[in-house]
Every structure is written in structure tokens, then in C-alpha cells.
């Protein structure tokens, strides 16, 4: 394929008032090569920045882009979300808006630290402190933007227009300062507090995680399970049995918990004689049912009780590490409804530092106090502290077996084993999480929960279920947000306190810190602010150690990326907040979408955004998560280099993922977009240009846009395609305004199909000038108009190919409309004068007739090349038949029939039989079912027709819908000589009776078809002058030879070349032999 740059050669030429000749279009196209040339064009004309300058002063379409980490390369999830964002933003620009698009980078948090820890071999928090925070953070800073240039290259190659030069980074001091301001507003509103909370905790990263992070990486894993014995203090011979899969938490046990309403039983073990208390519904988990039916029972029930009967009784603890808690009520049986009968024994051991419910129950019982006094003998790296004197320094998971062995020695184990279950892992280090009480700083989300729900109601989501179900339910169960992390590389919490936290000062700006400390501030990271001391009312105050959860940083981006409120205050309130539009994956319902809403609600009691598109997850073709290790998906760069970006974009935008569902990615699906949409559209464009140039050769006139010739055309297909184009335009505007991309994609693809398979196919002769120059001009002008509307509508979706087509077709525009790029053009308004719904309905009926006729031919193995005697079109509406008569010539030509017959008498061709659908009517009719079913079955032909027309009818007092009735049509004509086909609107009957003359015409058409294919295979274009010679070797009857001789004139006319018998001695390279109805046809092509 020749370079596309040749195709764009007129772009930088001096502007001309008159139309410029369009360039020839090559037969084949490489979409990836074309896209690379378009990228060069955009660079040469600085297309993105130019589009922004052209839209200055227009209404702002405010867009927020969530910041990704730059420590890895973009994957299909990024590509999908980025494509949705780019499509909506391009469309917003084309509807008269100014759309600022800034790229952002998430620079802090675990992903960065994890990379450094792995690179430097750091395994514990103490190793970081030994290294020094300044050195450690310097290493983090080095890798933050490791892949930024690759991101920019890939995002640009994907056709996304976004500003990388004016980007924002969450590690910039000005960005961090706005985060401090946000936090101070919340602090001053009383929404910040310090407390203990049991959190998912990564021992490898030595930090708590949010519940969102913990839910990201569940894995099936094997853990020990143990049934532990707890003797009653007042009856040591009777023991409660508790079940746990975390033996390492048993040294911290302070209580047991039972359900207040569950029935419990005291049983005697018939083998050991021991007495146990277990939840009655859970006896089978302790004493599995024997496999033998007549096996002796292993226990007998001695006593029955409910959970409240056990409340307050004391038991003998396993260890004495926390004996001091006895005076506060430790080692007592508690009750709580969280204890269920779905697993375990109905008795749950309580370690308040390692379970959220454990903490809540022990706090309610007064065993521990809020914010203090929580026994937590596990350090940040998951090792036992000196408090657990039997296993100090041992990693808790490694201690499981030793603890079980120890308890067996004390005869405190009933049974132990191994369980395979789903367990949360650290999404970064791929190590198991633990749940651990940590001292943290919280946002009091429960205080503003009702406001969150109210503000969420003001937003618009696509799809709606993500807002109304998933997100709403998440808000209903919202808990206080732990915004602190015990890490190093992040925005430090701006809190200065004394040792007992009785005085806390929150800093909201660099200026404020400088004023209170007297220190000049140039950076806000830990190495710059940790040593700053300010004077408080109680004495010197030092900064707390924690940094912000990076979700707080990204949730602050609406303010921080503008350095609000220190700069851009008026712009922020007048044009920028809330965002008109955002988009991310469905996993962000508990991430970015949530943090945006929480902070905007706390600050301004408003949602941070108005409109949101939530995309589904992109999975591998087998339905599994995409995995680099498994290599179960094609590399995006390979897909782009081989198939191009436009096909990938359209594949993604026309997939279930755009309506929030999962997409199983198939590279074959991208190829199908090329085959079914891009190549057909390319061929329509190529055929138009060929027609324009051929007309120019004939008339000497360069085609220029001629709206008048298109609008005043009397050809019904011209009127139809112009009207259909306006209907498409109205539909796209309507659905894009509602952010329903999932409806727009299929409609655009469908219109390309209409353009190629109906308009161009039916008007080839007109476009080539066979019906005269006036008709040729009308057809070219019409196709030009609708193709320009089509590419304008598709520009946000496939920006490269539409630019490629536009760069050639723009030369036919008036100079004033000849923009340098299609992306500078505004979306046209709907032309109501060109819109004619009646004509669209008329052509729709014609399409139904032709489609049914083709299907009927296929069923009877009658190729379209062979003419048939007739098609009879039956419709109950005389008006519909009149409309079809006006397109009779098209029907006749497309179905290749001699006669088209119209009739309203359906009863003469088919019988109708109706029956009620049992599944639909069973529960609805109940006792009347039999008589209603009989009434439906008794309908006459005319009654069934009336029922179909009305859509419903009353039977025995019941209103029955059309969808609840099955209507069967049976053809009553001669099936040997006819074939019928129908849909709900129309019935057609093909006449199949054999006719010698029709057969001969079919043979002639077959020969034309074979020669045209031979011509194309030889590299000859339709305009190349040739001579065609033929010879036939056949049976004695000589039928084929006679047919070709009799129809030589029409074959010659179809080929636009002489069609002559092959003289003796004439030969050449372009020679082929075909099998034709028992004969051998040899065809020789010679250049004239």
C-alpha cells in the first residue's frame, strides 16, 4: 500500500477558493500505516492544541481524569477507559464546548514503595528507618516516572488527545498543599478523629490497607483449622468447642462469643467420656455423619440451652499472657447476633486486636477501652512481640503449627486439620493479609452518610445499576474511612501533636506551617517536615508519623490539580466543579468514585461529578483475569501494530464492557471490526472517489460539494439515504447526550452496512454515469453528503480513519468550510427538511422483501444470477403495497425476477393457526386456562390478522398480548413451483417454475461474474480497456455455446468490452478455464 502521506499531499498547499481535485484512493489500505501517517499530520499541525485554541471562550465541558501509577505499562483496562474518555471528550468538543484534558500521575503509595523494597531487598520497617527516610524517599522519587514516556507514547498512539505537558503529579508540593487544605477543612468540621480499628494489614508492606484494596486479591489457599477446648471455670469437666483457622490469634484470646438465639447442646462423647457444649445446628461439623447407616452414634445429648443461658459464664484461658484483663471481664462468654450457624461450632473465640467483630464485642463488654488498651502482640512485620514469650520474633503464620502442638500438649485440642478456603492476599506483595488493630486517623463518614446518599442521587451513571445497586448499597453500609498509612513515600498528615494527643494542630497550607515554625518550606514530604517542631499551648508539638492513603490524594484531585484554593478559585467554582463527566472501571465504585463523593460532600455538600460512565472488566478470552505470567491475552502493542487503533477502539466501544459488563477480549473480534466495518466503509469511500474522478474525466469538471443537487434529487434511494443519515445524526446526538455509547456504536456500524449493501449497491450504475450525467451528479452529491455526515459522527470513535477520509474529501468543500482537520469541525445540526420518515419506512419494507426473497432463494438453492419468473408480495395494507410499487424496479433487479406481483390476499397463500404459549399464560389464567386456550385456537384467519394488528385482544374476560400467543403460518400453495417467506409485516412468494430463457440469462450472468473475477485477479481495473475471447468444450447438445452466442451482446455490455469467440492461434497470459454446467469455458483477456 502506498504511503498515506501522498493521500494528504494537498493539506499544506495554499488555500484555494475553487474545489481541488481529490486524490486517487489505492485499492488496499494498511490501517496501522495510515494511522502512523495521521499521527505525523497531527504533530505537524499541532492538532490537539489548535483544537483547544479554536474552542477558547466556548462553554466549558469539565472533565476529571483519574491518575494512574506510572510504575507499569497500560493494559486493556486502561485502554478501554481511556478510549471512552477520549470519545466523549472529542464529541463534547464537536458540539461546541471547550474541553480541558490534563493527564495526571498517582506518584505515592504502596506500588512505589513495594518496587523499592523489592529492588533494595528491604523486608522490614526498621530497615527503612536504618537506611533513613531521606534516602528511601529519594529512591522512590527516582522510579515514580519510570514509564511516563512510554505512557505518553502509547496513549498518543491510541489516538487519545490529552495534555501531557501540563500534567499534574500528586507528589508536587503545590498538589500536596491542596491536600492539606482539604484535610484541614474536614478537621475543622469535626470529621477527623484518631482511633483503633481492625484493618486488613499487609505484613510484607507493614501497612494497613483499605477494604477496597483487601478485596482486590482473594486467593484459594490452605490454612490450618483447629477445634479448641475451653473448660468452664465452674465446671472444668465440661468444655466449649470453638473453631478457628487462625491459630496464631489464640494467644490473644480474651473472650468467647455465642449467638443469643441459637440452640446449644451439652453432649457426652461416647468414646472419651468428655462433655462438650456445641451449637446444635453445627453438631455435624464436630461429629460428621457416619458413612455406614447402622453405625453406633458417637455422642449423646445431655442438656439443651440457648445462647443467653451461657452469657456471663467464665472459662479457663489458654494462655496467661493477658491475665491482667481478667479484672475487666476477660475470659467470659459474650453473646452477639454476628455468630451464625453456617460454619464452625457456634462458639467464636475473641481476639479483639485481630477481628472487627471481636473488637466490637469486647469493646461493648468493657473488656477493652476505645482507642487504648488493646492487646496486640504482633508487630508491623507480622512477628510476635515479647508479650508472647513462647514465640517472640516468630512470624505469625509460621507459629500456627507450634501453637497447635503446644495446645495438644495441654489437651486443649479436640481435632485439627487443613482447610482450603478463599482468603485475602496483599495485591502488591502476593502475601496473605492479616486483620490487625492499628492506631489510625479516620474521616467520620458515618456522620455524613445521609448526605452521601442524597448527593449520589443527583448524579447520572451509565449503566444505572452501578449507581442504584452497587454504589448505593456500598454507601448504605459505609464505615469510617481510615485515611492514614504507616508508610514513608506519601503526603504527610498535617497534624502536629504532643505525646498524649491532648493537643492537636492541623496545618492547612505551606504559609501556615512557615508562620508557626519559622522554617522556609520547599517540599512537603516526610524528610522535609518530620523534624519541624511548632510551639503549642501545651509545649512543643511534633508531626504524627503517618502519611495519607493514596486514595485520599486521588480523591482530592478536583481541587489539588488546580492548586485550589490558592489559585484558580473563580475558575474552579464557575467552570470546573463539579465535573461534567468522568469515567473509570466498575472496580472504582469502592475506590475513586467513592473518595471523590466523600470529599466533595464533606467540603461543599455536592457530588464531585455530574455524569459517569462505568466500564466493565476486560478479561482474557477464556474468562479468566488477564495474567502476564499465564500470557493468556495478546499484547496490546502487537494488536495495535498489526490491526490498528481504530479497529481496537471500535471493538471496545461496541462491546458489553461499555455498559458495565465483562468483556472477554478476542483479537479475532478486532479483525471482525476491520472486515465488517472499516473495510466496507473504506470501499464506499474509494468507490465515491473513483466515481468523482471518472466523472471529472468525462466532463472536465472537478466535483465540488453540491448540496442542492443532493436535496433536489428525485431518486428515492437518494432521498432515503439522506433521510437515514439525518435520523442517524439525531439518534447519535440523543444517545451521546445520555452518555449511552453502547447504543451509538451498533447504530453507526449498522448505517455503514446500509450505505454499502443498500445505497451503493443499488446505485453503482448511476454513480458510474450509466444513467446520464445529471443522475450521476445527484448520486455523487448525495453519497458525498452522507459520507461526510458519517465520518463526522464516527470521528470521536475512530479518529484516524475519519481524518484520513476527510483529508481527501475536504478538497470538495468551499474554502470557508475547509478546516485543516476533521477534529476542528462542529457536529452538524439535524436537517429536518431532508428527514422523511415515510421514505425510511418505505425502504424498510423494500429491504424486508428483498431479504426474505434472498433467504427463500437460498433455501431452494437458486443463486441470484439465475432469473426467476416472479415474486408475489402480499401485504394487508394497500398503502404499504403502493409504497412498494414505487421501488418495484429495485426489487425486480435485486431478486432477479421477471415480474413483481402485488396482493392483499394473504389467505390465498398461507393458513394461520394461533395457540397460547403455556409458559406465558399458565400462572396468569389459572382456572380459566383451558377455555382461554381454546378461544385462542378457534380464531379465524381474519381474527388472527386483526389480533396481530392490534397487539392484544380479550379472550374470555382476559386481556392477552401478542407476545403470549404463538402464530404459525403455513404455505398453502404449490411447494414444488413456489417458495414462501414472511415476517410480521410482509409475505413473499417466489415463482420457481423452470423457464429456458430465464435459464439462459442466468448462464450469461454467471459468465459475466466469472470474467469480472478473472479481471480483478489479473490486476485490471474497470477502466482498463480489454477484449474478451472465449471457447467452449461441451456435450453434443451445444446448449452453453448457443446461450453465449445468443447473449453475446448483453454480456459485452455488462463487461464494457467486446465478447468474441476465440480465434485459432490467439493466445496470451491472462487465460483461465472454468467448469460451466457440464462444459469447459476458456476465457482469454487481452489488453485493447
d(CA 230, CA 315): 6
Q: Tell me if residue 297 is catalytic.
A: no
H/E stretch holding 682 reads: helix 679-699
Long-range own/partner contacts, residues 623-627 (CB < 8 A, 24 or more apart): 623/662, 623/664, 626/75, 626/76, 626/665
Structure letter (DSSP) for residue 134: H
d(CA 572, CA 21): 48
Catalytic hit among 185, 350, 561, 588:
588
What is the crossing angle of helices 636-643 and 148-157, to 10°?
A: 30
- The CB density around residue 261, as the number of other CB atoms within 10 Å, is 11
Q: Which residue has the cell 513515600?
A: 489
Contact, 144 vs 69, CB < 8 A? no
- If DSSP codes are grouped into helix, strand and coil, which group holds residue 416? strand
Catalytic hit among 628, 631, 765, 930:
628
d(CA 1008, CA 480): 78
Contact, 782 vs 797, CB < 8 A? no
d(CA 219, CA 423): 5
- Phi then psi for residue 434, to 5 deg, are -120, 165
d(CA 365, CA 356): 14
HSE-CB for 724 with a 13 A CA cutoff: 27
d(CA 330, CA 588): 41
Q: Can you read off the three cell numbers belonging to residue 30?
A: 494498511
Q: Tell me if residue 32 is catalytic.
A: no
Catalytic hit among 32, 65, 67, 181:
67
Catalytic hit among 65, 86, 106, 358:
106
Q: Which residues contact 437 (CB under 8 A, 6 or more apart)?
A: 196, 197, 198, 199, 352, 353, 354, 359, 374, 376
Catalytic hit among 243, 592, 758, 982:
592
Catalytic hit among 569, 625, 765, 930:
625
Q: Tell me if residue 588 is catalytic.
A: yes
What is the C-alpha radius of gyration for the chain, rounded to an integer number of angstroms? 39
Burial letters for 883-914: b for 16+ Cβ neighbours within 10 Å, e otherwise? bbeebeebbbebbbbeebebeeebeebbebeb
d(CA 151, CA 141): 18
d(CA 104, CA 67): 5
- If DSSP codes are grouped into helix, strand and coil, which group holds residue 833? coil
- If DSSP codes are grouped into helix, strand and coil, which group holds residue 825? coil
Q: Tell me if residue 625 is catalytic.
A: yes
Q: Which residue has the cell 472419651?
A: 272
Structure letter (DSSP) for residue 477: T
Strand partners, 222: 420
Q: Can you read off the three cell numbers belonging to residue 1018?
A: 489479473
d(CA 487, CA 985): 69
Q: Tell me if residue 106 is catalytic.
A: yes
- Residue among 516, 453, 646, 581 at smallest CA distance from 180: 516
- Phi then psi for residue 169, to 5 deg, are -130, 130
Q: Which residue has the cell 490498528?
A: 644
CA distances from 668 to 200, 525, 649, 676, 1057 (A): 41, 48, 14, 12, 41
Contact, 305 vs 325, CB < 8 A? no
Q: Tell me if residue 67 is catalytic.
A: yes
Q: Can you read off the three cell numbers belonging to residue 512?
A: 501556615
Catalytic hit among 551, 720, 758, 982:
551
Q: Tell me if residue 123 is catalytic.
A: no
HSE-CB for 823 with a 13 A CA cutoff: 30
- If DSSP codes are grouped into helix, strand and coil, which group holds residue 955? strand
Bridge pairing between strands 533-535 and 238-244: unpaired
d(CA 174, CA 443): 23
Which residues are marked as active site?
67, 106, 551, 588, 592, 625, 628
Amino acid at each position: 500500500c502506498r504511503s498515506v502521506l501522498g493521500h494528504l499531499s494537498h493539506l499544506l498547499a495554499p488555500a484555494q477558493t475553487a474545489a481541488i481535485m481529490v486524490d486517487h484512493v489505492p485499492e488496499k489500505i494498511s490501517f496501522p500505516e495510515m494511522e502512523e501517517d495521521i499521527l505525523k499530520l497531527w504533530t505537524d499541525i499541532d492538532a490537539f492544541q489548535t483544537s483547544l485554541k479554536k474552542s477558547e471562550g466556548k462553554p466549558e465541558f469539565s472533565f476529571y481524569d483519574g491518575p494512574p501509577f506510572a510504575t507499569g505499562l497500560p493494559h486493556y483496562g486502561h485502554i478501554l477507559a481511556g478510549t471512552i474518555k477520549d470519545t466523549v471528550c472529542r464529541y463534547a468538543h464537536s458540539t461546541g464546548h471547550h474541553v480541558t484534558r490534563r493527564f495526571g500521575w498517582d506518584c505515592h503509595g504502596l506500588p512505589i514503595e513495594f518496587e523499592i523494597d523489592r529492588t533494595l531487598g528491604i523486608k522490614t520497617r526498621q530497615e527503612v528507618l536504618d537506611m533513613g527516610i531521606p534516602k528511601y524517599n529519594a529512591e522512590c522519587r527516582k522510579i515514580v516516572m519510570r514509564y511516563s514516556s512510554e505512557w505518553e507514547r502509547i496513549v498518543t498512539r491510541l489516538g487519545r488527545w490529552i495534555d501531557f505537558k501540563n500534567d499534574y503529579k500528586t507528589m508536587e508540593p503545590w498538589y500536596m498543599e491542596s491536600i492539606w487544605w482539604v484535610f484541614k477543612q474536614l478537621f475543622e468540621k469535626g470529621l477527623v478523629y484518631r482511633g483503633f480499628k481492625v484493618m486488613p494489614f499487609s505484613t510484607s508492606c507493614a501497612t494497613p490497607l483499605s477494604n477496597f484494596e483487601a478485596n482486590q486479591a482473594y486467593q484459594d489457599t490452605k490454612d490450618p483449622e483447629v477445634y479448641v477446648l475451653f473448660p468452664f471455670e465452674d465446671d472444668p469437666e465440661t468444655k466449649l468447642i470453638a473453631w478457628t483457622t487462625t491459630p496464631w490469634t489464640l494467644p490473644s484470646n480474651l473472650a468467647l462469643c455465642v449467638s443469643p438465639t441459637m440452640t446449644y447442646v451439652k453432649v457426652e462423647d461416647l468414646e472419651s467420656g468428655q462433655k462438650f457444649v456445641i451449637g446444635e445446628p453445627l453438631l455435624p461439623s464436630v461429629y460428621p455423619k457416619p458413612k455406614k447407616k447402622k453405625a453406633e452414634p458417637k455422642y449423646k445429648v445431655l442438656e439443651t440451652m440457648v445462647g443467653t443461658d451461657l452469657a456471663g459464664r467464665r472459662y479457663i484461658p489458654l494462655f496467661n499472657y493477658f491475665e491482667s484483663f481478667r479484672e475487666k471481664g476477660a475470659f467470659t462468654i459474650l453473646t452477639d447476633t454476628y455468630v451464625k450457624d453456617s460454619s464452625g461450632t457456634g462458639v467464636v473465640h475473641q481476639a479483639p486486636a485481630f477481628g472487627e467483630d471481636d473488637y466490637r464485642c469486647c469493646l461493648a463488654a468493657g473488656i477493652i477501652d476505645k482507642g487504648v488498651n488493646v492487646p496486640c502482640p504482633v508487630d508491623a512485620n507480622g512477628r510476635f512481640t515479647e508479650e508472647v514469650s513462647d514465640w517472640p520474633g516468630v512470624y505469625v503464620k509460621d507459629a500456627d503449627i507450634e501453637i497447635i502442638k503446644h495446645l495438644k500438649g495441654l489437651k486443649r485440642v479436640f481435632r485439627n486439620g487443613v482447610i482450603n478456603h478463599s482468603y485475602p492476599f496483599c495485591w502488591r506483595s502476593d502475601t496473605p493479609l492479616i486483620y490487625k488493630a492499628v492506631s489510625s486517623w479516620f474521616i467520620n463518614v458515618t456522620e455524613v452518610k445521609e448526605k452521601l446518599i442524597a448527593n449520589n442521587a443527583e448524579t447520572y451513571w451509565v449503566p444505572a445499576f452501578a449507581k442504584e445497586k452497587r454504589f448505593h448499597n456500598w454507601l448504605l453500609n459505609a464505615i469510617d474511612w481510615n485515611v492514614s498509612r504507616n508508610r514513608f513515600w506519601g503526603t504527610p498528615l498535617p497534624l502536629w501533636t504532643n505525646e498524649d494527643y491532648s493537643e492537636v494542630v492541623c496545618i492547612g497550607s505551606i504559609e501556615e506551617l512557615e508562620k508557626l515554625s519559622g522554617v522556609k518550606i520547599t517540599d512537603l514530604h516526610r524528610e522535609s517536615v518530620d523534624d519541624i517542631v511548632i510551639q503549642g499551648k501545651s509545649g512543643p508539638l511534633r508531626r504524627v508519623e503517618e502519611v495519607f492513603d493514596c486514595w485520599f490524594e486521588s480523591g482530592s484531585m478536583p481541587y489539588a490539580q488546580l492548586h485550589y484554593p490558592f489559585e484558580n478559585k473563580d475558575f474552579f467554582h464557575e467552570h470546573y466543579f463539579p465535573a461534567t463527566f468522568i469515567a473509570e472501571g466498575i472496580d472504582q465504585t469502592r475506590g475513586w468514585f467513592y473518595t471523590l463523593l466523600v470529599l466533595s460532600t464533606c467540603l461543599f455538600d455536592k457530588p464531585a461529578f455530574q455524569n459517569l460512565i462505568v466500564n466493565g472488566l476486560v478479561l482474557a478470552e477464556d474468562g479468566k483475569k488477564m495474567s502476564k505470567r499465564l500470557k493468556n491475552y495478546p499484547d496490546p502493542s502487537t494488536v495495535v501494530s498489526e490491526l490498528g487503533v481504530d479497529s481496537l477502539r471500535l471493538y471496545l466501544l461496541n462491546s458489553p464492557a461499555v455498559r458495565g459488563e465483562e468483556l472477554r477480549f478476542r483479537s479475532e473480534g478486532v479483525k471482525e471490526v476491520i472486515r465488517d466495518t472499516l473495510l466496507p466503509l473504506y470501499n464506499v469511500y474509494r468507490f465515491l472517489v473513483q466515481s468523482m474522478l471518472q466523472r471529472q474525466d468525462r466532463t472536465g469538471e472537478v466535483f465540488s460539494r453540491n448540496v442542492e443537487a443532493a436535496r433536489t434529487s428525485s431518486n428515492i434511494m437518494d432521498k432515503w439515504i439522506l433521510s437515514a443519515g439525518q435520523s442517524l445524526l439525531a439518534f447519535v446526538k440523543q444517545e451521546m447526550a445520555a452518555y449511552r455509547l453502547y447504543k451509538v456504536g451498533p447504530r453507526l456500524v449498522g448505517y455503514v452496512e446500509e450505505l454499502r449493501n443498500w445505497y451503493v449497491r443499488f446505485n453503482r450504475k448511476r454513480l458510474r454515469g450509466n444513467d446520464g450525467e445529471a443522475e450521476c451528479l445527484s448520486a455523487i452529491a448525495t453519497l458525498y453528503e452522507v459520507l461526510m455526515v458519517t465520518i463526522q459522527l464516527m470521528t470521536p470513535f475512530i479518529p484516524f480513519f475519519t481524518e484520513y477520509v476527510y483529508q481527501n474529501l475536504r478538497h470538495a468543500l468551499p474554502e470557508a468550510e475547509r478546516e485543516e482537520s476533521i477534529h476542528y469541525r462542529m457536529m452538524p445540526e439535524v436537517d429536518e427538511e431532508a428527514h422523511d420518515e415515510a421514505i425510511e419506512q418505505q425502504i424498510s419494507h423494500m429491504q424486508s422483501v428483498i431479504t426474505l426473497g434472498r433467504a427463500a432463494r437460498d433455501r431452494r438453492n437458486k443463486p441470484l444470477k439465475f432469473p426467476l419468473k416472479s415474486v408475489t408480495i402480499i401485504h394487508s395494507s394497500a398503502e404499504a403495497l403502493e409504497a412498494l410499487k414505487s421501488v418495484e424496479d429495485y426489487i425486480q433487479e435485486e431478486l432477479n425476477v421477471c415480474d413483481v406481483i402485488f396482493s392483499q390476499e394473504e389467505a390465498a397463500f398461507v393458513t394461520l393457526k394461533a395457540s397460547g404459549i403455556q409458559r406465558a399464560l399458565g400462572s396468569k389464567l389459572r382456572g380459566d386456562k383451558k377455555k382461554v386456550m381454546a378461544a385462542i385456537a378457534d380464531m379465524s384467519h381474519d381474527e388472527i390478522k386483526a389480533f396481530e394488528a392490534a397487539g392484544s385482544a380479550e379472550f374470555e374476560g382476559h386481556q392477552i398480548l401478542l407476545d403470549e400467543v404463538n402464530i404459525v403460518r403455513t404455505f398453502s400453495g404449490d411447494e414444488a413451483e413456489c417458495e414462501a417467506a414472511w415476517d410480521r409485516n410482509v409475505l413473499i412468494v417466489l415463482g420457481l417454475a423452470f423457464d429456458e430463457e430465464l435459464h439462459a440469462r442466468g448462464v450469461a450472468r454467471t459468465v459475466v461474474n466469472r470474467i469480472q473475477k478473472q479481471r480483478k485477479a489479473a490486476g485490471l481495473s474497470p477502466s482498463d480497456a480489454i477484449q474478451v475471447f472465449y471457447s467452449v468444450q461441451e456435450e453434443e447438445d451445444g446448449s452453453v455455446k448457443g446461450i453465449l452466442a445468443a447473449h453475446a451482446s448483453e454480456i459485452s455490455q455488462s463487461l464494457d468490452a467486446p465478447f468474441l469467440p476465440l480465434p485459432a492461434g490467439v493466445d496470451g497470459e491472462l487465460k483461465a478455464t472454468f467448469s460451466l454446467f457440464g462444459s469447459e469455458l476458456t476465457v482469454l483477456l487481452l489488453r485493447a
